[in-house]
Chain A
């Protein structure tokens, strides 16, 4: 499906490009909202992502891989936007260890808490941007590890370690906000 659409769009078929947008934009917008935490900025980033994708369609080696390719463009757009906003030199946060101890709360406590959604949001915001992006790509957007490696420009091993660390931090933070022990 995606491969055929990309081939048509790369040949100048604007309708096919719009179909690609309709298929992937809703999830990409959610991803961008999560990374930028600003809906207006996410709208601009989504627009920029697809404008860049349009100009680079011919460079996509495997048309079936358009989904991770779009996420990769979105991630670069976010990095540029954050640099512009905050003057951040890099979003890569290669810290050596895990900042918080593993939670002793149970998953059932996290799931059944009255403010679970809010606690999850706070916990995600507490993650460093690149680690948050990797976790979201896996847990929310259901990309396989090898595609996350492509999106993030990381090795497969780093993807696994970062996502594992993100989960440990996320669970500890949720337990804290839901009143569980840490």
Chain B
């Protein structure tokens, strides 16, 4: 079946460009002169102009982009590096290296502070173990803070840092809870109850923060901080009771 385009020598792609104002002045003038003497093109041009108005109006009335889609995309691309990383800018490499160094140094300093401040002298084996666990937990906390401060709006990377922090905290808290349970059997009942109440309060804050967290970076930071506070309180008790 023949068509208007096939019958005429006036390809409508040029008319589309004319409607969009994409032709230069000379081209536009030449085509307009042709349109003035060509009934087929004149009609096509009127249709294209009308359609441009209709599609523009329709686009303006289209549903807005839903707010939560990016969060879902960020959640699915967390920790998934694009295949080609060869073009990674030098500045980014330097920043990541600096972040790692800063986190480790700060973690070591905080662990040292905790030990000295409490005047603790646990046995050498327990001392080393608790330092390792605290180091993991505090590194997680500081790492997540550093990641979210420097890369404020980089939700994907921040969530990856927070995922890592959560895993480290899971491990450290589980180990310290086991240590506490072993010590608790030897504690006077009143002191054990006081510790239990303290831990219950801390865990309640953790659960409240967890409920609000989802994939929201700010809320997840609050959760990591709450868990780090819980980690420190249980660490303090374990060290104190290990000494006694």
Interface residues in chain A, defined as those with a beta carbon under 8 Å from any beta carbon in chain B: 7-15, 17-18, 21, 25-26, 29-30, 33, 39, 43, 46-47, 50-51, 54-59, 96-98, 102, 106-108, 110-111, 116-117, 120-121, 138-140, 142, 145, 160-161, 164-165, 167-168, 170-171
Give min CB distance, A165 to chain B, whole Å: 7
Number of A-B residue pairs having CB atoms within 8 Å of each other in the complex:
143
Q: Mark B51-64, 1 if CB is under 8 A from A, else 0.
A: 11111011101111
Cα distance A160–B92 when bound, in Å?
Answer: 45
The 8 Å CB contact of A43, one of B69, B155, B157, is B69
Q: Are A47 and B69 in touch, CB under 8 angstroms?
A: yes
Give min CB distance, A8 to chain B, whole Å: 7
Q: Mark B139-161, 1 if CB is under 8 A from A, else 0.
A: 00000000000010111110000
The main secondary structure of chain A at its interface with chain B is: helix
- Given contacts A13-B88, A14-B74, A97-B1, 4 further A-B pairs with CB under 8 A are A56-B83, A59-B84, A107-B47, A160-B5
Give residues 69-90 of B contacting A (CB, 8 Å): 69-70, 72-74, 76-77, 80-89
Give min CB distance, B33 to chain A, whole Å: 21
With contacts A98-B3, A164-B3 known, is A139 near B92, CB below 8 A?
A: no
The main secondary structure of chain B at its interface with chain A is: helix
Contact size range, B: 35 or more
Q: Are B151 and A15 in touch, CB under 8 angstroms?
A: yes
Interface residues in chain B, defined as those with a beta carbon under 8 Å from any beta carbon in chain A: 1, 3-5, 11-13, 16, 20, 43, 46-47, 49-55, 57-59, 61-66, 69-70, 72-74, 76-77, 80-89, 92, 151, 153-157
Cα distance A3–B154 when bound, in Å?
Answer: 20
A142: chain B residues at CB < 8 Å are: 20
